[in-house]
Amino acid sequence: MNTATRSSGRTLWVATRALLMFTVVLGIGYTLLITGIGQLAFPAQANGSSLTNNEGDVVGSSLIGQSFTDSDGNPLPEYFQSRPSAAGDGYDGRSSSGTNWGPENEDLIAAITERKAQVAEFNGVTEADVPADAVTASSSGLDPHISPAYAQIQIDRVADVRGIPAEQVRELVAAHTQGPDAGYLGESRVNVLELNLALDELED
C-alpha cells in the first residue's frame, strides 16, 4: 500500500469520526439541550401555547385563531366571534395565507360589503360601527386576536344570550385586552379563545 493510499485512508477515517462526533453533539445533544431548556423555562410556548378548558381538555392554542360556529357554519351568539380567515376552510395552519386581493378587487369589495351587513345585524349595531378587522382576514389567516373595537360591539349580544350583566362582560373584555408590545409596538388586541374560555368559566 503506497503512501497516498494510506494518507487517503487516514483522511477518510478522520472525516468519518468528525461526522459521527458532530452528529451526536449537534444533531442529538444540542437538540436535547434546547428542548430541555424550553420545557423548563418556557413550557407553555414549547408545547404550542395550548389552552385548556375546565375539564383539562386542550381546546386550542393562544397563537392560532379558530371559529366559534355551529355544524352549519353559523356563528354561535353566546361567544365572541373571531375575524374572518382566508386560510383553507378557516384557520388551517397548513394553508396559512391571505387572499392577496387588492383594495379594488370586486370580489373583495363584495365580500366586505356582505360581511359588514351580517356583522351589523348579528350584533345589533349600525354598519358604521363595524371595525375593519370584523370584515377582513389577516395576512396569515391565523390571527387569534380581534381589536377592542370589535369586542365592544359584541358585548351586549353575548351578555343578552348568556343572561349576565353587560358590565360583567365588559370587565372581562378589559381584563383580556393586551396593550401594544413593549408599550408601543402594534395595537391593543383581545385574544378571542382566551376570552371565550373565561366566559365559560363564569357559568361553571
Q: pLDDT tens-digit profile of 122-174?
A: 999 999 999 999 999 888 888 999 999 999 999 999 999 999 999 999 999 99
Question: Which residues 6+ apart lie within 8 Å of 50 measured at CB?
Answer: 44, 58, 60, 61, 62
- Among 16-30, 38-52, 150-164, which is the least confidently predicted range? 38-52
Average pLDDT over residues 20-38: 85
Q: Give the per-residue pLDDT at 97.
A: 76
Residue 44 in this model has a pLDDT that exceeds 80: no
Residue 54 in this model has a pLDDT that exceeds 80: no
pLDDT in tens, 58-87: 878 888 999 999 989 899 999 999 999 988
User: Length of the chain in residues, anyone?
Assistant: 204
Q: Give the per-residue pLDDT at 99.
A: 75
Cβ proximity of 147 and 193 under 8 Å: no
The closest of 82, 88, 144 to 115, measured between CA atoms, is 82
Average pLDDT over residues 98-114: 88
- Please state the pTM of the whole predicted model: 0.78
Confidence bin at 1 (pLDDT 50/70/90): low
Higher pLDDT, 149 or 3: 149
Residue 24 in this model has a pLDDT that exceeds 80: yes
Q: Find the angle CA(175)-CA(178)-CA(179) to the nearest 5 degrees.
A: 125
Q: Give the per-residue pLDDT at 195.
A: 96
